[in-house]
Amino acid sequence: MIIKTLFFKTQLIAGLSMAVLNFAQNAPVSINKDFKLNTHYMTPENNFAKAGVEVKDGYIISGQNFVQEGNAEYNSAIIKIDKNGKLIRKTVLGDNKDFDKESVMKTVYSINNNRLVQLGSKKIDKRSYLWLREVNDNLDVLQDKVYESVSAAATHDPVVFNVPDGFFVVSESAFSRDFEINLTFISNDLQKTDNHIISFIEPPFDFFGRFDYSASLVNNKFYLITNGVDERNAQDTSNKYKTYILEYDLATRKVTKQKKISEADFMSRKLLINKDLIYVVGVKDTGEPISNKTGRRNTLVKVLNMNFDKVKEFNYIPSPDKGKFSEHLYDAAIVNDELHIIGEMYRSGTFSNESVYLKFDLNGKLLDDRFLKYGSMYSENRLIKIVPLKNNELMLLGKGEGWRVIIK
């Protein structure tokens, strides 16, 4: 009888512990009381929010969404929600059934005169080109165009920079062997284009491999970072990526400056320019092995002047009470003289990952660090995109029980 009682108590305690754990993962906590909205959409499979804009009566958000409807298969979606998070409308798109006709559309941007465009990639005759849709606040399609003069891959979402007579689209060439980046001007009426190409297999570069990029536009000059393998005889390129930064003059159509700013222990992810200083945000390999992952990486911010000389750098190392993590960084933004960084972390000794949000002042002082977990212990969580909103608010987008959408 005593044994049965003890066994029952053990089961009860274990059950209560798991219930408390699940409640703690899903319940709002006081540290997140500044979240005006914290909700999710879509199913928890391989779906995540990647871009968003604010409109007068809510938010429009786009991202990856794998779904089958009848005989059609889609990989992308765009939704409209009101200020309280209520889903108003949803459109699925992106052909995911036939690889030779594949199309991907996971972005949405605001251009001049409060117009909205989506940018992605669409295949025609098995070749991928830049795809644009103009939509209104109700997600009605106003224009749908494919620019066959611009080869655009689906592996990296296009980015937009507005200028008075139109906007520039930064995209990755579908001709991967050429390691090319497109800087494409599109006029306000969406009819005229002018494509600039930066190749990383032509002087002053000689890359054997390339991974990721980030760009900024200042005074008619593009500044771009990428991670390149510059060792032509390297047998294993997996750990040979080094960060390069360049300046491209739109007027002369030439790379006017370039510099290698790291060795293979650093991987850049985001370039920001603020008050004549360049912030290169990435992750640094500490060389310390941790369970379940190849090595421990921490956030590192390199601050450069406009001549690409080092001014300072600062990093983030979780405090001992938070444990050790392998870190993946996805996006960063400077708002109101504060640097906001998002990504995901894998805690040492577990297979569980958590979304991470960091905030620094521009001198490198840590102001906030939060680990966010939604769903079960083993569910995927990551924050992928920061969208600055009005009044210094932020939209944080990613994955956590499906599309995770946070307004802060």
> What is the 3-class SS of 89-126, one letter each residue?
EEEEEEECCCHHHCEECCCCEEEHHHEEEEEEEEEECC
Decide if pLDDT at 348 tops 90.
Answer: no
The predicted pLDDT at position 386 comes to 97
Q: Report the percent of the chain where pLDDT is more than 90.
A: 61
Residue 120 has pLDDT above 50, yes or no: yes
- How far is CA 129 from each of CA 14, 65, 118, 120, 146, rounded to the nearest angstrom? 55, 21, 14, 8, 7
Quick: pLDDT tens for 199-231: 888 778 877 777 889 999 999 999 999 988 877
The yes-or-no verdict on residue 184 having pLDDT over 80 is yes
pLDDT at position 253 over 70: yes
Does residue 10 or residue 354 have the better pLDDT?
354
pLDDT at residue 293 above 60?
no
CA distances from 217 to 159, 161, 174, 271, 320 (A): 11, 7, 23, 10, 39
Mean pLDDT throughout 67-82?
92
Domain boundaries, the chain: 45-199
Write down the mean pLDDT value for the chain.
86
pLDDT average, residue stretch 17-34: 48
Which range, 148-152, 153-157, 315-319, is most confident?
Answer: 148-152
pLDDT value of position 378: 80
Report whether pLDDT(27) > 50.
no
Lowest average pLDDT, out of 33-47, 161-175, 341-355, goes to 341-355
Q: What is the token pair recorded at 234?
A: 């390297």
What is the model's pTM?
0.88
Residue 282 burial by Cβ neighbours in a 10 Å radius (0-12, 13-18, 19+)? buried
Residue 8 has pLDDT above 50, yes or no: no
Residue 239 has what pLDDT?
62
Q: Is the pLDDT of residue 76 over 70?
A: yes
Which residues, 6+ apart, have CB-to-CB distance to 309 below 8 Å?
A: none
DSSP label at 50? Answer: E
* 215/287: higher pLDDT: 215
Question: Right CATH number for 45-199 from 2.40.40.20, 3.30.450.20, 2.120.10.10, 2.60.40.10?
Answer: 2.120.10.10
Least confident interval from 114-123, 175-184, 258-267:
175-184
Provide the token pair at 23: 């409640």
